[in-house]
Amino acid sequence: MDFFDDLIPLPSVEQISKLIDDASHYTNEMLYSIFAGWIGANAAVKSKSRVAIDRSPIGPFQCGPGLCTRMAGISGGIAVAMNAYGAHFVLANADINDERKRAMTYAINHHFINCIGMALAGVGAHYPTLTASMFLISTVLFSVPSYLFAIRNDRRLRAVTPYGGVLAMLAWFSFVL
């Protein structure tokens, strides 16, 4: 037996199989709840829920569908404004170099993707407060320094952008918690 096996025990095949089964079950439940309106209220699809989902708040507030949608809406509106500003004043400006233009494009893309994640957190995440908060903080850590660099050529906060990217990955992974 290796020293590291004692520190980090590997899950058994049965545990991994159950985890995959539960993840696919929750994914099906989430997709059904999202698309139930499209397939009709009288559709003959029944829930096969086996495990109760704990949606208790993590912080001082519960980020349900309404709050997550509002957060995504405000953030999405800001993303559209930044997209318009970037298209008219950054990308169209011949004096701004390609590195800054790419930073603007990446910041806008990241911002929009996080808006989608925030909106989905309210309806599909087991811990919507955690997930939506991670998307919001990720936007601040990644997009804001990138916007500042693209618009003002300010590199002071560029070092925190990788943390924003990692936080976005963790936010997406939090959907399977």
User: What is the structure's pLDDT at 177?
Assistant: 86
Is residue 61 classed as helix, strand or coil in its secondary structure?
Answer: coil
Nearest alpha-carbon partner for 177 in 123, 117, 125, 118: 125
Q: What is the pLDDT along the chain (177 residues), one digit of tens a residue?
A: 455 455 555 566 676 667 666 666 665 565 555 555 544 544 444 444 444 444 554 445 566 678 888 999 999 999 999 999 999 999 999 999 999 999 999 999 999 999 999 999 988 888 888 999 999 999 999 999 999 999 999 999 999 999 999 999 999 999 998
Integer Cα distance of 18 and 11 in angstroms? 11
User: What is the structure's pLDDT at 35?
Assistant: 54
User: What is the structure's pLDDT at 45?
Assistant: 46
Integer Cα distance of 97 and 56 in angstroms? 48
User: What is the structure's pLDDT at 126?
Assistant: 87
What would the pLDDT profile of 77-92 be if each residue is shown by its tens digit?
999 999 999 999 999 9
Is residue 54 classed as helix, strand or coil in its secondary structure?
Answer: coil
What would the pLDDT profile of 91-123 be if each residue is shown by its tens digit?
999 999 999 999 999 999 999 999 999 999 988
